[in-house]
Amino acid sequence: MAIGILTSGGDCAGMNPAIKQFVDHCFMKNVQPYLIYDGLEGLIDGDIKQADHKDVAGIIHLGGTILRSSRSKRFFQFEYRKQAFENLQKHGIDKLVILGGDGSFRALNQFYKDFGVQFVGIPSTIDNDIFGTDYCLGVDTALNIIRGATDAVRDTSASFKRGCVIETMGRDCGYLALVSAITCGAEVCIIPELEYNLDSLGLKLRSQIEHGRLYVVCVVAEGTKKTNDLVQWLENDVGIETRATTLGHIQRGGNPTVFDRLMATEFATFAVDKLIQNDNNEGLVVVYKDGQFEFVSIEHVNSQKYTISPNLLQMAQGMVH
């Protein structure tokens, strides 16, 4: 048996620990591991290499992915999927592990329908927006990077009696901004999932400033497109000099945390074992739900839109009005 691994879509910390565990665990199970470079594009172009321990030695602490990644338009065309399948056949690879998001899973699900190549997906996105799993690989590292940046910006904001607006990633999902706002003690949190009232927030903050508040921390998800508006609001309505900091891709990189390394190891182990044990499954995703690892279908992952826990949303009520 031969199993290949690839990383697709946005990179995240935790991918390299997962790749290392994939190779190590395959060898322990007497399975030949293969590394597929450049995501779905590499699958099409045949950038495939038989893996050895030396390929993954010393990568567990690295952010990003040594396999590199891509977003492939060609994979949507049957002729290129056929080419990818033929490349796998040359190496005797009949099963795949893919680290990515729901778009990557859908792509391989079509690949399975076309050619019967079984796969297990590992949810890997810092947005934490995949339905069916409470946790996606890379989230803890991203949150810790945001926490460190927000704490640092707060220090200088307090020194100058300023407001600060911290923009996190999160195109359609405010998970990163919400959890960061809660854990960093922000005064304001603006995310797509919550309605907010700047009038009542402004009234509250002006009163606090009159009674000695030195700074204001506002965390905003990029998907709201409200960063500049919030700077203007803090300066003109609340009356505090304000600076904006857009964290950008710094949130995707960095040294993986202990938690992300552990999750990566467990995700990869379960994925390999599932592919070894079951010769008849279609595309599956290994998820972490209610403290347990389990497998769900691609149809289940795509059946609904991810929603943030109501408990977390409730904790933010004081930061939105």
Q: Are 282 and 121 in contact (CB under 8 A)?
A: no
Average pLDDT over residues 277-293: 89
139-184 pLDDT tens trace: 999 999 999 999 999 999 999 999 999 999 998 999 999 999 999 9
Q: What is the CATH number of domain 2-138+256-303?
A: 3.40.50.450
Burial 193-202 (b: 16+ CB within 10 A, else e): bbebebeebb
Return the pLDDT at 84: 98
66-80 pLDDT tens trace: 999 999 999 999 999
Share of the chain above pLDDT 70, in %: 99
- pLDDT band (50, 70, 90) for residue 15: very high
Return the pLDDT at 275: 96
Residue type, 171: R
State the average pLDDT for the chain: 96
Q: Does position 85 have pLDDT exceeding 80, yes or no?
A: yes
Please give the positions annotated as active site: 127
Look at the domain 142-251 and name its fold: Rossmann fold (3.40.50)
Which of the pair, 280 or 193, is modelled with greater confidence? Answer: 193
Q: Does position 278 have pLDDT exceeding 80, yes or no?
A: no
CA–CA distance, 170 with 173 (Å, rounded to integer) = 5
Measured CA to CA in angstroms, residue 229 lies from 141, 170, 189 at distances of: 29, 18, 13
Q: Which residue spans within the chain are E strands per DSSP?
A: 2-7, 32-36, 48-50, 95-100, 118-123, 163-168, 188-190, 216-221, 242-246, 284-289, 292-297
When computed from its CA atoms, the radius of gyration of the chain, rounded to whole angstroms, is: 22
128: left (phi over 0), alpha (psi -120 to 50) or beta: left
> pTM of whole model > 0.85?
yes
Q: Are 54 and 26 in contact (CB under 8 A)?
A: no
Kindly state the DSSP code that residue 238 receives in the 8-state scheme: I
Closest CA to 283 of 138, 158, 110: 110
Q: How many helices (H) and strands (E) does the chain have?
A: 12, 11
218-235 pLDDT tens trace: 999 999 999 999 999 999
Q: What is the DSSP string of 169-183?
A: P-SS--HHHHHHHHH
Retrieve residue 291's tokens.
């403290």
Residues across the chain: 321
Retrieve residue 152's tokens.
């640092």
| Domain chopping of the chain, boundaries | 2-138+256-303, 142-251
Residues 6+ apart with CB under 8 A from 204: none
Relative to beta strand 118-123, strand 163-168 is unpaired
Q: Are 223 and 192 in contact (CB under 8 A)?
A: yes
- pLDDT band (50, 70, 90) for residue 282: confident
> Same CATH topology for 2-138+256-303 and 142-251?
yes
Q: Does position 281 have pLDDT exceeding 90, yes or no?
A: no
Residue type, 253: G
Q: Does position 237 have pLDDT exceeding 90, yes or no?
A: yes
Return the pLDDT at 111: 97
Bridge partners of 286, per DSSP, are 295
Residues 6+ apart with CB under 8 A from 152: none
- pLDDT band (50, 70, 90) for residue 285: very high
